[in-house]
Amino acid sequence: MPYEPTRTSTTPPARYGDPILYPTAVQQPVMMPAELPPGVEMVTLPGGYRTLAYTHPAAPAPAPAAVQPVPTWAKTTALLAPTVGGGIAAAGFGISYAAPGLIAMTEALWAAIALIAAGTLAPFLLRAGRGAGHGAAPVQHVTQHISASGMFGRATGTLNNH
């Protein structure tokens, strides 16, 4: 009788080479890093497998901008700004000292305007105050005739009261 080993476990017998139970390791060709084409790298996947993959090349860093000189208009503006500001400050300071005089001048100007208005309106008010029923004198007309002979001649004239 042939010899049969006794089974002590419930596992099936080992069938080497069976792709379901014991898959054989497939040996992938190994490439040296120098042999990899551009854009291809060896990456490690989340499951731990290492494989070749296409990657996006990193964008080159932008070159630093060349230093530009300060434009002339900027220099002029920078120098002009404190000058203008100082002039405005000086003007405000001067106006603060001149304010009482300016107030007095405006009052004097209003007084002058009132005087001119009174002088303009006075004849109209006086003429309106004289009524025809108050015994006003009739209006007189005076005519004067003047004549002279030559450029340096003596002038003579007559008055006519109407």
Q: Is the pLDDT of residue 68 over 60?
A: yes
How would residue 44 be classed by pLDDT, with cut points 50, 70 and 90?
A: confident
DSSP E strand stretches across 21-74 = 40-44, 50-54
Cβ(53)–Cβ(37) under 8 Å? no
pLDDT in the model for residue 18: 56
Rounded-to-integer distance, Cα 51 and Cα 14, Å: 31
Phi and psi at residue 44, to the nearest 5°: -105, 120
Per-residue confidence band for 91, with pLDDT thresholds at 50, 70 and 90: very high
Q: Considering the chain, what percentage of its residues have pLDDT values greater than 70?
A: 74
**Helices vs strands, H then E, count in the chain:** 1, 4
- Rounded distance, CA 21 to CA 11, Å? 11
- The residue with greater pLDDT, 13 or 127, is 127
Higher pLDDT, 90 or 52: 90
Report the run of H or E that residue 142 belongs to, with start and end.
Answer: strand 142-148
- 73-77, 87-91, 94-98, 146-150: which range is least confident on average? 146-150
State mean pLDDT over 8-13. Answer: 57
> Residue 133: which pLDDT band, with cuts at 50, 70 and 90?
low
Check residue 63 and give its pLDDT: 83
Could you give the dihedral angle defined by the CA atoms of residues 102, 104, 106 and 109, in that order, rounded to the nearest 10 degrees?
Answer: -130
Q: What is the dihedral of CA 87, 88, 90, 95, to 10 degrees?
A: 140
What's the token pair of residue 10?
Answer: 């419930």
Q: Tokens 């070749």 — which residue?
A: 52
